[in-house]
Every structure is written in C-alpha cells, then in structure tokens.
Amino acid sequence: MNDKNIKLGDWTSLQKDAQAIRYAVFVVEQKIPADLEWDAMDALCLHAVAYDENNKPIGTGRLLPDGHIGRMAVMESARGTGIGAAILLLLMAQAKLRGQHGVQLNAQVTAESFYQREGFAREGELFEEAGIPHVHMTHNF
C-alpha cells in the first residue's frame, strides 16, 4: 500500500466511501449503534480513504482539528495488508504538517498492539466506549 492509493479530503468529498467502510466495520461487524457512529465532528475532520487496485474503498480514518485520530477502520478482507498503518502514518504526517507536536487516539483494546507498533504509548486506565473496552494512547513527534 502506498499513499497513491489513499485519498485525503473533507467529509463532503469522501463521505460516501468512508461511511460505507465505517458502517460495515463498526455498525455491522462490531454491532455499534449507528447513532453513535455518526457525529458532527466528521464535517470538521480531514478524512483518509484507502482504495484497492479496483478502486474499491477498503480503509478509512480521520484527523480532528485538535490532533485526535479516530474512526480508523479497515474492511475485514484487507486486514493485515498494511493499509491501516499506511492510513495512520499519513494522518500523523498531516498533523505534523499542521504544526501539531503529537497525536492521540482512543484505541479498542484489541487494536492496542497495532498502535504500539507505530510508536503510540498507552495512557491511563481502560474505559468503555460504545460498549467496547478502549485505552487512550498518544504519540509525540
């Protein structure tokens, strides 16, 4: 996966593809209520969507104005291929270009090791979000 397969844009330009991925992963697969998945922050974020060789959307994430990364999701068929890491690193690079000194996120416990491999450190205790255990993680530049 390279950056040429990942589009950056606002919610208006990437909503259809990002929403399809997030719906499949969070609402269908993880059973998160749809009303918890969509929020007003989408309109304020920089979004990333990764595409496969057939231009099918397979991964997404967003960068909030304050440097939080969120809504990272990769379609089940594309997991383990490096797409999630490519999206994450691209969003981190965008935060750095904005002049931010680091990024943070709330990771599902099952994804904690993924973020640790990219240099994130756990902060604080476990907490529940949408019925799923999470940890807060940070990465300084």
DSSP code string of 57-103: EEEEEEE-TTSBEEEEEE-GGGTTSSHHHHHHHHHHHHHHHTT-SEE
The pLDDT value recorded for residue 1 is 53
Superfamily of domain 3-100: Gcn5-related N-acetyltransferase (GNAT) (3.40.630.30)
Q: Would you kindly state where each structural domain of the chain is located, as residue ranges?
A: 3-100
Residue 24 in this model has a pLDDT that exceeds 60 = yes
Residues in the chain: 141
**Residue 37 clears pLDDT 80, i.e. is over it:** yes
Q: What is the pLDDT of residues 101-129, one digit of tens each?
A: 999 999 999 999 999 999 999 999 999 99
pLDDT confidence band for 2 (50 / 70 / 90): low
Could you write out the three-class secondary structure of 15-51?
Answer: HHHHHHHHHHHHHHHCCCCHHHHCCHHHHHCEEEEEE
Average pLDDT, the chain: 95
